């Protein structure tokens, strides 16, 4: 078990990672002295692990539980409102603590509930997916809107992140792959040695052993922690964490949230951003090798044919980094070094069309 400390302008908190990390939860709650604890989870995690978690803390604290449906559709205003209503009926006060027990959807939604309930009460992230190694750290909490992903939210740091790796053992393959995309992203933007480790050691998801998984989680979190410490509110450096997400979020929104996994969409976005980096920056990135590796792992490597470039650009214009209709994308100068570029709608649509035409119908060797 290892611990990383996150430092931001407003707070300092631990991220505890490893087998049996959940045993640290009682000590964290003791420091917060909660009047009541609300556990928010989803139907899948509730079925597998809720009793285990609640039994850890029930003898000491008054607990209530709210279960949302599994899936991206739960990151909605209606569900957010329902959780707020439940918290009010349970008479949570400003000394109450909320525990987000689940994956990225639960973490984002619950964090936004905590950020806005009585203008902000403490919350703790207890992630249960690999994808949540990214979303649980850094304090970006939000819900989706039909017009865009994570458009309604806040920057609100948790009091702690308790990442017990045994919760990941029950992950479906699709969820493991989705989280692995964010691990790859962290390596591409910040660590060539980490990227080389991933390519060498993990050629298929079955290669993710417990030892490799712990290294992936720790290195991914450390990279994000280093970025968030410098730029908590995404005013500059933190934008590099959006590598692959400009097109990725557009594909995800066009599909309808939950139809394609977040990680699968980000994988497509990273391929486009890598191709674009080579084309515009003359970067010598291993685009073909990356595409082959992604296909071997099981990621989609092309935008579905049914999504038009016009539809995707319309979604990309709504990205949070877009200003005055100039679409900003994070690119790579080399593995581990990022830059950015801005495009008009017409420029990016032309480039997107060129990439899709070039890749369409091509088989991956």
Residues belonging to the binding site for NAD(+) are 70-75, 104-108, 128-129, 140, 149
Taking alpha carbons only, the member of 26, 28, 33 closest to residue 14 is 28
Do the Cβ atoms of 71 and 258 come closer than 8 Å?
Answer: yes
Q: Exactly one of 238, 291, 315, 320 is catalytic; name it.
A: 238
Q: Exactly one of 224, 291, 315, 320 is catalytic; name it.
A: 224
| 47: annotated active-site residue | no
Q: Exactly one of 133, 159, 185, 245 is catalytic; name it.
A: 245
| 7: annotated active-site residue | no
Do the Cβ atoms of 285 and 332 come closer than 8 Å?
Answer: yes
Half-sphere exposure of 270 (CA within 13 A, CB side): 34
| 182: annotated active-site residue | yes
Give, in order, the Cα–Cα distances in Å from 244 to each of 13, 163, 207, 216, 348: 28, 25, 24, 19, 14
| 31: annotated active-site residue | no
Residue found by looking up tokens 């980490």 in the block: 194
Q: Exactly one of 175, 182, 219, 254 is catalytic; name it.
A: 182
CB contact set of 304 (below 8 Å; sequence gap of 6+): 251, 255
| 133: annotated active-site residue | no
| 252: annotated active-site residue | no
| 288: annotated active-site residue | no
Q: Exactly one of 249, 291, 315, 320 is catalytic; name it.
A: 249
Work out the burial of residue 305: count CB atoms within 10 Å of its CB; fewer than 13 is exposed, 13-18 middle, 19 or more buried.
Answer: exposed
Q: Phi/psi of residue 63, each to 5°?
A: -125, 140
Element of type H or E holding 234: none
Q: Exactly one of 44, 133, 140, 150 is catalytic; name it.
A: 140
Task: Output the known binding site.
Answer: 70-75, 104-108, 128-129, 140, 149, 182, 245, 262
Do the Cβ atoms of 188 and 290 come closer than 8 Å?
Answer: no
Taking alpha carbons only, the member of 224, 222, 243, 226 closest to residue 339 is 243
Q: Exactly one of 242, 252, 291, 315 is catalytic; name it.
A: 242
CA distance 365 to 194: 25
Q: What b/e string do you get for 230-259 counting C-beta neighbours within 10 Å, with b at 16 or more?
A: ebbebeeebbbbbbbbbbbbbbbbbbebbe
CA distance 13 to 350: 45
Task: Output the known binding site for Zn(2+).
Answer: 182, 245, 262
CA distance 34 to 350: 55
Q: Exactly one of 31, 89, 119, 211 is catalytic; name it.
A: 119
CA distance 321 to 329: 8
Element of type H or E holding 22: none
Element of type H or E holding 13: strand 12-18
| Two structure tokens written together for 22 | 């959940």
| 94: annotated active-site residue | no
| 186: annotated active-site residue | no
| 238: annotated active-site residue | yes
Q: Which residues are catalytic?
A: 119, 140, 182, 224, 234, 238, 242, 245, 249, 262
């Amino acid at each position: 078990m290892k611990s990383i400390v996150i430092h931001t302008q407003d707070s300092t908190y631990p991220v505890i990672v490893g087998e049996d990390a959940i045993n640290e939860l009682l000590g964290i709650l003791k420091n917060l002295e909660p009047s009541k604890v609300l556990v928010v989870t989803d139907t899948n995690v509730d079925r597998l692990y809720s009793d285990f978690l609640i039994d850890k803390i029930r003898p000491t604290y008054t607990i209530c539980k709210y279960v949302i449906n599994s899936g991206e559709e739960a990151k909605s205003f209606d569900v957010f409102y329902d959780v707020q209503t439940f918290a009010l009926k349970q008479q949570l006060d400003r000394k109450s603590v909320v525990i987000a027990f689940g994956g990225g959807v639960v973490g984002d939604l619950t964090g936004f509930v905590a950020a806005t309930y009585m203008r902000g009460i403490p919350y703790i992230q207890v992630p249960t997916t690999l994808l949540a190694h990214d979303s649980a750290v850094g304090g970006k909490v939000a819900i989706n809107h039909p017009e865009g992903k994570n458009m309604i939210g806040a920057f609100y740091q948790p009091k702690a992140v308790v990442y017990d790796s045994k919760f990941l053992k029950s992950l479906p393959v699709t969820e493991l792959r989705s989280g692995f995309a964010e691990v790859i992203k962290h390596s591409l933007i910040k660590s060539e040695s980490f990227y080389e480790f991933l390519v060498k050691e993990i050629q298929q998801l079955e290669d993710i052993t417990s030892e490799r998984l712990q290294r992936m989680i720790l290195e991914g979190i450390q990279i994000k922690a280093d970025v968030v410490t410098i730029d908590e509110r995404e005013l500059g450096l933190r934008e590099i964490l959006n590598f692959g997400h400009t097109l990725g979020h557009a594909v995800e929104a066009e599909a309808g949230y939950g139809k394609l996994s977040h990680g699968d969409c980000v994988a497509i976005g990273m391929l486009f951003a890598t191709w674009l980096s080579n084309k515009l920056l003359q970067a010598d990135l291993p685009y073909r090798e990356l595409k082959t590796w992604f296909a071997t792992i099981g990621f989609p490597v092309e935008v579905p044919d049914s999504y038009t470039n016009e539809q995707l650009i319309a979604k990309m214009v709504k990205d949070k980094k877009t200003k005055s209709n100039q679409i900003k994308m994070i690119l790579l100068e080399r593995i581990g070094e990022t830059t950015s570029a801005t495009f008009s709608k017409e420029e990016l649509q032309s480039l997107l069309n060129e990439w899709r035409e070039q890749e369409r119908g091509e088989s991956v060797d």
